[in-house]
């Protein structure tokens, strides 16, 4: 793993491409193969034998981990004959899956309609619009569950018009991570990963990635981070006890689930920006708080934390208002 990060105080420097720049016939082929970065400073008393890596999903072309399941769900819809020319892609989203579906719809020439809570960040609304998708806004007080219910109403009113990927219940969601995210982490750590940590939204990321990694090493631990209560500011994450539980989420497959306070996650976002030069979203802050809690119980190990997106799509939210107050 020497090529991934510092070994014995020595950092790997930037490298030039050996055969010229990457050329792809489609933006969709740029999804996946995101890098790991070792967390060097925000360690808070973690033993030297424990290594912490972030999987930087913001490098996907749509800017988040949700590019992976969105593409897989659309591919499966086309393969099964459920998505055909003339149909419109419809789903509910708290933002990142919607952006991914809007991007993929633009690439494949399908119209897209997205039901989103009205209080999702301004940046997410603008990105969806930039890809040509139509947004339908649900009650902001009902969060992602309200968007799910509103989406069901839209579909019921004209079922022949729409193809609904249904990210919360579509097994193609975790399958995308079983086929891509998990194998990438295994390869990038040379099979040394001992713990995988991710936040819970639909559950697809942690289910699919965790299943693959456990298939390679049954002793590997899968740890989920969720908001500590129903009233939280961690956009994109679900507090499962108070939410509509996604059909693809199976809590018995987790080794541990940790509740994270909103303020604690926000503070970690600020630290990762200032101390590691990683500008990530609030769900990433929550996941890293969970990773540190686990890391402090170990003497050795390799922990991979999934950073679902970058923080630039939250600049107009309370997350960054807090940053300004600290600045």
- Interstrand relation of 256-260 and 221-227 (parallel, antiparallel or unpaired): parallel
- Order across the sheet with 88-92: list the strands: 134-138, 112-117, 88-92, 162-163
| Maximum C-alpha span of the chain | 62
> Can you give the pLDDT at residue 38?
98
Identify whether residues 184 and 53 lie together within a single domain: yes
Identify whether residues 82 and 198 lie together within a single domain: no
> Can you give the pLDDT at residue 34?
97
Identify whether residues 189 and 315 lie together within a single domain: yes
Residue 13 lies in a domain: no
Residue 234 lies in a domain: yes
Q: Which of 129, 163, 197 is the last residue of a domain?
A: 163
The partner residues of 36 in beta bridges, in order of sequence, read 55
Residue 125 annotated as catalytic: no
Identify whether residues 219 and 194 lie together within a single domain: yes
Global model pTM greater than 0.75 = yes
In terms of Cα–Cα distance, which of 300, 278, 297, 325 is closest to 40? 278
Q: Which of 99, 133, 163 is the last residue of a domain?
A: 163
- Select which of 55, 64, 66, 138 is catalytic: 66
Identify whether residues 123 and 77 lie together within a single domain: yes
* Torsion sign (Cα): 120, 126, 129, 130: negative
Q: Whole-angstrom Cα distance, residue 164 to residue 62?
A: 19
**Per the structure, how many domains does the chain have?**
2
Residue 172 lies in a domain: no
> Can you give the pLDDT at residue 257?
95
Query: CB of 269 within 8 A of CB of 284?
Result: yes
The answer for residues whose C-beta is within 8 angstroms of residue 245's C-beta and 6 or more apart is none
Identify whether residues 150 and 190 lie together within a single domain: no
CATH at 48: 3.40.50.1100
Residue 3 lies in a domain: no
Residue 168 lies in a domain: no
Identify whether residues 156 and 281 lie together within a single domain: no
- Residue pLDDT tens, the chain, 327 long: 544 444 433 344 444 445 656 788 899 999 999 999 999 999 999 999 999 999 999 999 999 999 999 999 999 999 999 999 999 999 988 789 999 999 999 999 999 999 998 888 888 899 999 999 999 999 988 887 898 899 999 999 999 999 999 988 999 999 999 999 999 999 999 999 999 999 998 899 999 999 999 999 999 999 999 888 767 766 767 677 677 788 999 999 999 999 999 899 999 999 999 999 999 998 899 999 999 999 999 999 999 999 999 988 888 877 766 555 554
Residue 66 annotated as catalytic: yes
Determine the structural domain holding residue 226 and report its residue range.
27-60+180-326
Identify whether residues 74 and 130 lie together within a single domain: yes
Q: Whole-angstrom Cα distance, residue 94 to residue 238?
A: 10
Identify whether residues 203 and 275 lie together within a single domain: yes
Identify whether residues 225 and 317 lie together within a single domain: yes
Residue 20 lies in a domain: no
The partner residues of 222 in beta bridges, in order of sequence, read 196
Query: CB of 56 within 8 A of CB of 37?
Result: yes
Identify whether residues 74 and 46 lie together within a single domain: no
Q: Whole-angstrom Cα distance, residue 156 to residue 150?
A: 10
Residue 235 lies in a domain: yes
DSSP string, 82-148: SS-TT-EEEEE-SSHHHHHHHHHHHHHT--EEEEEETTS-HHHHHHHHHTTPEEEEEPGGGHHHHHH
Q: Which of 132, 163, 194 is the last residue of a domain?
A: 163
Residue 80 lies in a domain: yes
Q: Taking the CA of residue 269 as centre, how many other CA atoms within 13 Å lie in the half-sphere pointing to its CB?
A: 32
In terms of Cα–Cα distance, which of 186, 243, 236, 179 is closest to 207? 179
């Amino acid at each position: 793993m020497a090529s991934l990060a510092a070994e014995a105080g020595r950092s790997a420097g930037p490298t030039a491409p050996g055969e010229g720049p990457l050329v792809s016939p489609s933006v969709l082929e740029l999804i996946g193969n995101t890098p790991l970065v070792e967390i060097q400073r925000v360690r808070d008393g973690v033993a030297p034998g424990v290594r912490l890596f972030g999987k930087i999903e913001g490098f996907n072309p749509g800017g988040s981990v949700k590019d992976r399941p969105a593409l897989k769900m659309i591919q499966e819809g086309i393969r099964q004959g459920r998505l055909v020319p003339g149909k419109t892609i419809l789903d509910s989203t708290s933002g990142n899956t919607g952006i991914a579906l809007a991007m993929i719809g633009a690439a494949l020439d399908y119209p897209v309609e997205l039901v989103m809570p009205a209080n999702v960040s301004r940046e997410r609304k603008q990105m969806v619009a930039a890809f040509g998708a139509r947004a339908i806004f649900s009650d902001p007080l009902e969060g992602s569950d309200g968007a799910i219910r509103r989406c069901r109403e839209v579909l019921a009113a004209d079922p022949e018009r729409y193809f609904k990927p249904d990210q919360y219940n579509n097994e193609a969601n975790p399958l995308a991570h079983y086929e891509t995210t998990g194998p990438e982490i295994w390869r990038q750590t040379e099979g040394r990963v001992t713990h995988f940590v991710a936040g819970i939204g639909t559950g697809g990321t942690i289910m699919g990635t965790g299943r693959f990694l456990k298939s390679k090493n049954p002793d590997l631990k899968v740890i989920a981070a969720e908001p500590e209560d129903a009233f939280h500011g961690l956009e994109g994450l679900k507090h499962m006890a108070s939410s509509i539980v996604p059909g693809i989420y199976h809590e018995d497959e987790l080794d541990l689930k940790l509740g994270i306070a909103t303020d604690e996650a926000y503070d970690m976002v600020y630290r990762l920006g200032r101390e590691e030069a990683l500008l990530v979203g609030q769900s990433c802050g929550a996941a890293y708080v969970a990773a540190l809690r686990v890391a402090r119980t170990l003497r050795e190990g390799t922990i991979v934390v999934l950073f679902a997106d970058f923080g630039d799509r939250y600049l107009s939210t309370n997350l960054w208002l807090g940053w300004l107050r600290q600045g």
